[in-house]
Structure 1
Amino acid sequence: MRGFRWPPPPDGGPRTWGPGPGAPRTGRPALPEPDTELVATPHGVHLEQLVTGAGDPVTVFAHGLGNGIATTRPFGSGVTGRKLFFQFRGHGRSDAPPGPWSYLDLARDLRAVADLGGATRAFGASLGAGALCRLLAESPERFERLVVFLPAALDRPRGEVARARLTALFEAVESGDAAAVADVVQAELPPAVRNTPAGWAYLRQRLDQLLRDGLAPGLASLPEQAPLRDAGSLAAVTAPALVIGCAGDDLHPVEVAEQLAAALPRATLHVYDRPGVLWTERADLRSRISAFLNE
């Protein structure tokens, strides 16, 4: 496979060898960003929020580090009822109060959005999974149903490989160099996708977001922290939970998903056999999440 490079080819698609059609191949165009609102929380931090759907039940979606509403919306595509998507502090248009911040701060953001919107179900991915676990340790009966996707840390900080990758992302975003940011972000893509129209479309969307919004300095210390002091603090959680992990994911070790599933009394664990499931198992992932939340 040819090496990754930035910027993309001028015709918008990957270069190919040999004869073939010469029209631009841009991949699926990115959806326009929806109108969001800023919500005032009881702890004084304004958070960017998007509400979709209607009726009950209500589900809140918590994103990963350096991601946001755009990357969590696909997880709710088949989920019934009203859906609350939001940006943690330091992401998007949400406030960035003086840091550094802890998982307790993120749990407060999540709790505020859930309480204000009347959410009874919760989805957390990566960093959002850690914030959700911290909230549950303090309020084990807060939600009626839970989905935890690719938890990155539980009662120990992230591993050295993950910390190095996230440090590189912070440094690249701070530099404002699109090529440097693209070089880090492309690691999120499976190798087979990196030089395809869909891969370029994803990179463009992520670069637009990161270079426009940046990453607040208060986020930098989070990879060195653990959401919980003791995973045993989740023993009182009453809600059924679906925990999803991936083998071979350096940022989200499958051992963390296994530990979390063992700590939650009513958890079901599903492990995909390779990383990059948003690309390789997208339909199965969506149906699995919606089927569990819609029960």
Structure 2
Amino acid sequence: MRGFRWPPPPDGGPRTWGPGPGAPRTGRPALPEPETELVATPHDVQLERLVTGVGDPVTVFAHGFGNGIATTRPFGSAVTGRRVFFQFRGHGRSDAPPGPWSYLDLARDLRAVADLSGATRAFGASLGAGALCRLLVESPDRFEKLVFLLPAALDRPRGPIAQQRLSDLLDAVAGGDASAVADVVALELPPSVRNTPAGWAYLRQRLDQLLRDGLAPGLADLPEQSPLPDATALAGVTAPALVIGCVGDDLHPTHIAAELAAALPHATLHVYDRPGFAWTDRADVRERISSFLND
């Protein structure tokens, strides 16, 4: 029987046991992390930022809970103009002011990076989608185009399964146990990818970042909060939006994507038929995002 285990094989694996090939196999290592910068914001929270590409338009990318620049960059690989990636407070090298924090705090982080970069388009994944929704309540005409990838919550908190998963991640990172962190992070991968060179490279990259930078305790209350008091608060948003959801994802229920698309006046909804589509349908999702933003 084959399965996931940690630590990884010393030769770069994956290592399998039971029937099947057992010779050492090496996977392509993850790309080195690019050099980022810390930028000061008007609300006195320094945020880690990376700018790629050249020219206009400028798109800001907001990541998910416990993720960051590295996991968000692939979604912007075919987007034209400058691409601005950043780490929310409590993630990476960004500041972690005293908590607890709310989606309003995250919206301030997103707004500051967008304003400092001159961004006219925005992409939000999971937690970042919630922060983008919160920003749009205050400034419905702030952006010209919007992409929401796997929104996790709208006007209700996340469900109990999602809350437990995120709590497990925070606890594992706080404990500094690589094996415990790997067990939680591995759930982000489709089963077919978990014991492949690409899966091991992803795990190593995620663990290196999480165990090096940690996750701030101020994040702990966010899964129990909702970005908005009422989804109707998005009725004034003027920009066209693309909302991407999927079936079978406990952290990002399909109905949340559908409700968000219904609440936005000019939204298009696309739902993938299984979780893990960022791996199994990678080319399609990148093409879908870039076509929408570049058109």
Settle same-fold status: TM greater than 0.5: yes
> Structure 2 length normalisation: TM-score?
0.97
SS at match of 2:97: coil
**How far apart are residue 8 of structure 1 and its match?**
1.4
| Mapped partners of 2:59, 2:40: distance in 1 | 19
Retained in 2: the 8 A contact 1:26–1:201?
no
Task: Decide whether the 8 Å contact of 1:244 with 1:270 is kept in 2.
Answer: yes
Aligned with 2:192: secondary structure? helix
Q: Distance in 2 between matches of 1:28 and 1:103?
A: 37
Cα shift at 1:19: 7.1
Contact kept in structure 2, 1:121 and 1:144, CA below 8 Å = yes
Mind listing any 5+ residue stretches in structure 1 that lack a counterpart? none
Helix, strand or coil at the partner of 1:270: strand
In structure 2, how many angstroms separate the alpha carbons of the residues matched to 1:221 and 1:90? 12
1:186-243 per-residue CA deviation (whole Å, 9 max, x = no partner) reads: 1111111111111111111111011011110100100000000000000000000000
State yes or no: 1:168 paired with 2:168: yes
Within 5 A, what are the aligned runs for 1:190-205? 190-205=190-205
Q: CA offset at residue 25 of structure 1?
A: 2.5
Alignment of 1:102-121 (within 5 A): 102-121=102-121
Name 2:220's counterpart in structure 1. 220
**Does 2:144 align with 1:147?**
no
Quote the residue 1:45 is aligned against: 45
- 1:237-252 alignment to 2 at 5 Å? 237-252=237-252
Superposition deviation, residue 13 in structure 1: 1.3
Matches within 5 A, 1:70-81: 70-81=70-81
What's the offset of the Cα at 1:27? 1.8
Q: Is the 8 A contact 1:61 1:72 kept in 2?
A: yes
State yes or no: 1:10 paired with 2:10.
yes
Q: Shift of residue 21 of structure 1?
A: 7.8
Cα separation, 2, equivalents of 1:256 and 1:238: 20
Task: Tell me how far apart the structure 2 counterparts of residues 167 and 118 of structure 1 sit (CA, whole Å).
Answer: 35
2:64 equivalent in structure 1: 64
Cα distance in 2 for residues equivalent to 1:53 and 1:110: 19
Superposed CA deviations along residues 141-181 of structure 1, whole A, max 9, x for unmatched, are 00000000000000000000000111111111111000011
Task: Give the deviation of 1:29 after TM superposition.
Answer: 1.4
User: What's the CA shift for 1:12?
Assistant: 1.7
| Cα distance, 1:288 vs structure 2 | 0.3
> Which runs of no fewer than 5 residues in structure 2 stay unpaired?
none
Using the alignment, how far apart are the partners of 1:55 and 1:25 within structure 2? 42
In 2: Cα distance, 1:287 partner to 1:19 partner: 36
Correspondence for 2:29: 29
Identical aligned pairs, as a percentage? 81
CA contact under 8 A between 2:4 and 2:194: conserved in structure 1? yes
Residue 26 of structure 1, CA deviation: 2.9
Structure 1 match to 2:183: 183
Alignment match, 2:284 = 284
Rounded Cα–Cα distance in structure 2 between residues aligned with 1:18 and 1:216: 43
Paired amino acid for 2:133 = C
1:128 maps to 128
Which deviations, in whole Å up to 9, do the C-alpha atoms of 1:52-81 show, x marking residues without a partner? 111110000000011111011101100000
Give the Å deviation of 1:15.
2.9
Is 2:14–2:26's contact at 8 Å kept on the other side of the alignment? no
The equivalent of 2:87 in structure 1 is 87
> Does the Cα contact within 8 Å between 1:151 and 1:257 map onto a contact in 2?
yes
The one-letter code sitting in structure 2 at the alignment partner of 1:163 is Q
TM-score where L is the length of structure 1: 0.97
Deviations 1:123-157 (A, max 9, x none): 00000000000000110000000000000000000
| RMSD (Å), alpha carbons | 1.2
SS across alignment from 2:215: coil
Q: Which residue of 2 aligns with 1:267?
A: 267
- Distance in 2 separating the partners of 1:75 and 1:8: 27
Cα distance between partner residues in 1 of 2:250 and 2:69: 23
Offset from partner CA, 1:244-295 (integer Å, 9 cap, x none): 0010000000100000000000000000000001110100000000000001
**Which amino acid in structure 2 is aligned with residue 27 of structure 1?**
G
What amino acid does structure 2 have at the position aligned with 1:125? A
CA offset digits 1:28-73 (Å, max 9, x no partner): 2111111111110001100010011111100000000111110111
Provide the C-alpha distance between the structure 2 equivalents of 1:147 and 1:27, rounded to a whole number of angstroms.
32
The aligned residue for residue 232 of structure 1 is 232
| Number of matched pairs | 294
Tell me if structure 2 keeps the 8 A contact 1:107–1:135: yes
